[in-house]
Structure 1
């Protein structure tokens, strides 16, 4: 494998750190959504039933409940898979 074929890791982490650093320094103006607000909007759109939630605590509780429900579904599917030998 040559030098040009290697993937560089950490691109997403770098962007996230940049986003957080920019927000901590008050970067950006108030008319355009900040990087963090955009990410929270994307997260909110990916959680069913969370559209329109303004309160961050409620949003994060909704996300927590959604993750717990997904984990429970995975556990049930694994049990069914083991039971039927799939």
Structure 2
């Protein structure tokens, strides 16, 4: 590996603003804000809008859209259109 070309990886706290949950992990993200972690060490703090703690896919609150039912309802309401003829 070439020296001095890789970014510095260090412990960083990511805080999910929607769920109010914080994660300590290694990252190359930069931040001017800091937070004192549970072990007493001070780490950079990065606020994120969504994470695995609040994303609908990971929390099981995602909805499955019934697209087949929507198409059938549209066709009942407006009728089926004629196929394109060229």
TM-score normalised by the shorter chain: which range applies? under 0.3
* Structure possessing the higher radius of gyration over alpha carbons: 2
Superposition TM-score, scaled by structure 2 size: 0.26
Higher relative CO (CA 8 A, sep ≥ 6), structure 1 or 2? 2
